[in-house]
Amino acid sequence: SQKIEQNSEALNIQEGKTATLTCNYTNYSPAYLQWYRQDPGRGPVFLLLIRENEKEKRKERLKVTFDTTLKQSLFHITASQPADSATYLCALDGVDSSYKLIFGSGTRLLVRP
Amino acid sequence: GAVVSQHPSRVICKSGTSVKIECRSLDFQATTMFWYRQFPKQSLMLMATSNEGSKATYEQGVEKDKFLINHASLTLSTLTVTSAHPEDSSFYICSAREEGAVLGQPQHFGDGTRLSIL
């Protein structure tokens, strides 16, 4: 069956450390993978997109990797800050000819001061 | 840029009431809008894809007569939950794609509507 999985357990780290979040998928072949941030009671906000032929993408303190062999994406936040505390969602894009996104359930990140 | 406004942000109403939620793209034209439903600590589940000027495409298991979608202009889509019941209580979120956008571009999300049916 088709699945997209993110760590359901919250990730609790100390300020200044690097947060690493995982997104694994099964029986999909996405052309792209997107990462969003969602704060409580708010809609998701787009962060980064990576294509299937890209290994890594960076934006400021954010880095995303995409391994289509392992069917996995890793999302890193370096020098984490309490303001980074939120839920982070991965989404598969281009799994078919439609423009639908298929979301994981998200991982909650808590950065302690 | 690329702001999506969703209204209302919160609705509390009695069972049997119909509720309309609006999704507007404020500074761009959106050929396609999406409606999602999210339960606590769960993923966004796509309910339907709304295309301007045509009928919405519903995901499997979503009742089209229950969740009426209208996309009458390039900046407005509405979702009406008809005869709402407590099990319809959820967080409803819309998103929009810019006109002309191709695969591999982000969706722009509204801030959601918290629907509570008593």
Q: What is the mean pLDDT of chain B?
A: 92
Which one, of B90, B86, B93, lies nearest residue B107 by Cα?
B93
What is residue A62's predicted lDDT score, i.e. its pLDDT? 98
User: Residue B34 burial by CB count (10 A; 0-12/13-18/19+): exposed, middle or buried?
Assistant: buried
- For residue B94 the two structure tokens come to 């819309």
Q: Provide, as residue numbers in chain B, all residues whose Cβ is less than 8 Å from the Cβ of A106.
A: 43
b/e code A56-79 from CB counts within 10 Å (16+ = b) = ebeeeebbbbbeeeebbbbbbbee
Beta partners for residue A81, in sequence order: none
pLDDT digits (tens, 9 = 90+) for B55-81: 899 999 999 999 999 988 899 999 999
Rounded to a whole number, what is the distance in Å from the CA of B104 to chain A's nearest CA?
6
CA distance B69 to chain A (A): 17
Mean pLDDT of chain A: 94
Any CB–CB contact under 8 A between A112 and chain B? no
Contact B103 A43 (CB under 8 A): no
Percent of chain B, pLDDT > 90?
Answer: 73
Work out the average pLDDT over A40-62: 95
Closest-CA residue of chain B to A38: B111
Q: Which chain A residues are Cβ-neighbours of B101 within 8 angstroms?
A: 99
